[in-house]
Amino acid sequence: MAKQNTKAPPVLTVDGVEYKHEDLNDEQKIIYAHISDLQRKANTTRFNLDQLKVGQEAFGNMLVESLKKGKDEETEENDKK
């Protein structure tokens, strides 16, 4: 037996007043769709920015370690002389 879709239609609240999506006019539905899309894009951008920050920090740490290693190797060579 197939399940019935019992998901409630979207309801938005503006200034404490609830509006059913189905009761909005075409212009209001388009504006709501733009707002929803912009929220999704903002969330995706935050997610991508988090990844970029972590990647930048990781590469910075790798550079510091590489520079330390190079300095340690240079010091060892100077000690052998």
Round to whole Å and give the CA distance between 39 and 45.
10
Round to whole Å and give the CA distance between 66 and 44.
33
Average pLDDT over residues 61-77: 86
Round to whole Å and give the CA distance between 23 and 9.
11
Q: Would you state the pLDDT for residue 1?
A: 58
Position with higher pLDDT, 70 vs 63? 63
**Global model pTM greater than 0.95:** no
Q: Name the pLDDT band for 2 (thresholds 50, 70, 90).
A: low
